[in-house]
Amino acid sequence: MATTKTTVQELYADIVADLQPYYDDAVLLPNPQLITAQFLVSGTAGNVVRIPLTNSYTNGATVGEGNSIVAAAASDFNPLDASITMIKRGVGSDVTAEALEDGGLAVVRQAMLTRLSRGLAQATDVAGFAAMKSGFGATDFGEGGTNADFTTNFVFSPEAMGYGAKREPNVTMFYDNDLDTHQFRATVRNGFATLRSGFGARVTAHATVGTATANLTNIAKAVASLRGQNAPTMMNGLYIAIVDPSLEYSIASQLNSVTQAAIGDLSMIGNRALLTGIIGQAAGCEFYRSNNLPNAA
């Protein structure tokens, strides 16, 4: 009888590498740097946060001697409001006792906790971007696409949106002795509302990398629109631009052509400094990339 791979392998234990994670976007919108109006209302009654908004000021007018000041320029305090409705988002999985035993309790449990919490984070960003899409001004500063081939990108002030959380992300585990199964359930209750539609702008671009014609010029137009609304910036004096990989590539290509046409090749450090400087100064934005942006349909 020959010695074969099948018989020899009995001498060796299985070699199992460390579990490799699945990578996805980091959480963006609950970041207070991006949305300053945040309301954590756990433990309180009700599921709607109503936010009062001061109405616009009235410019003073020239008033003739002895004439009514109010008749010339009345500035009444008439606040508006925006409401954030708390919506439950959830994701879950059932894991058999055998899977935990054979896969290793600590490894499988941690993998499930990470998986479910990331699912809640993605659902939160998707909901926030959807609220931006429906709530920001009607003008599209991008290519004007209206179908699933286009992505809706955003330029906005940190005071454009409101975020509320009734229940922070929570993962619980229950044991079903009839099925001999552990049930993992993750939930969060949160919501978004547009506080001032003019403090945000949409910039659509074709979603296929290398196809988008929207670029830094379109971002600059959106920034100009926000400045025209007196929209506040972040502490660093910049607005927030959240773009998909296609628009990111289009902007980078535009900047690369600027360096080649104007001053020739630079060192890698020089290119990075120029890229950062032009984006920050010419467009007035701090850029973030996300794959959770909605399509333009």
- For residue 19, being part of any structural domain is answered with no
- At residue 99, the pLDDT reads 86
- At residue 264, the pLDDT reads 46
- For residue 8, being part of any structural domain is answered with no
Output 62-66 pairs: Cβ under 8 A, ≥24 positions apart.
none
The rounded distance, in Å, linking the Cα atoms of 24 and 6 is 40
| Domain count of the fold of the chain | 1
Residue 74 contacts by C-beta under 8 Å, 6 or more apart in sequence?
A: 58
- For residue 226, being part of any structural domain is answered with yes
> Residue 139: phi, psi to the nearest 5?
-70, 130
Q: Where are the alpha helices (DSSP H) in the chain?
A: 5-8, 69-72, 97-103, 105-135, 216-228, 245-262, 268-278
Residue 189 vs residues 90, 125, 134: alpha-carbon distances, Å: 9, 13, 20
- For residue 3, being part of any structural domain is answered with no
- For residue 186, being part of any structural domain is answered with yes
Q: What do you get for the CA distance between the two ends of the chain, in Å?
A: 67
Q: Which residue type sits at 7?
A: T
- For residue 63, being part of any structural domain is answered with no
Contact between 15 and 138 (Cβ < 8 Å): no
The rounded distance, in Å, linking the Cα atoms of 16 and 189 is 38
- At residue 204, the pLDDT reads 97
| Positive or negative torsion for Cα 130, 135, 138, 140 | negative
| Positive or negative torsion for Cα 232, 235, 241, 244 | negative
Residue 240, classed as helix, strand or coil, is strand
- For residue 198, being part of any structural domain is answered with yes
- At residue 56, the pLDDT reads 84
- At residue 200, the pLDDT reads 97
- Segment (H or E) for 163: strand 161-176
**For residue 43, what are the domain limits?**
27-53+80-289
The rounded distance, in Å, linking the Cα atoms of 253 and 101 is 51
- At residue 170, the pLDDT reads 86
Q: What is the mean pLDDT, run by run of 10 residues, along the chain of 297 residues? A: 53 58 73 91 89 87 91 87 93 90 83 88 94 94 93 96 91 90 91 95 95 92 95 92 91 69 48 51 80 93
Q: What angle do CA 217, 127, 161 make, to 5 degrees?
A: 60
- For residue 147, being part of any structural domain is answered with yes
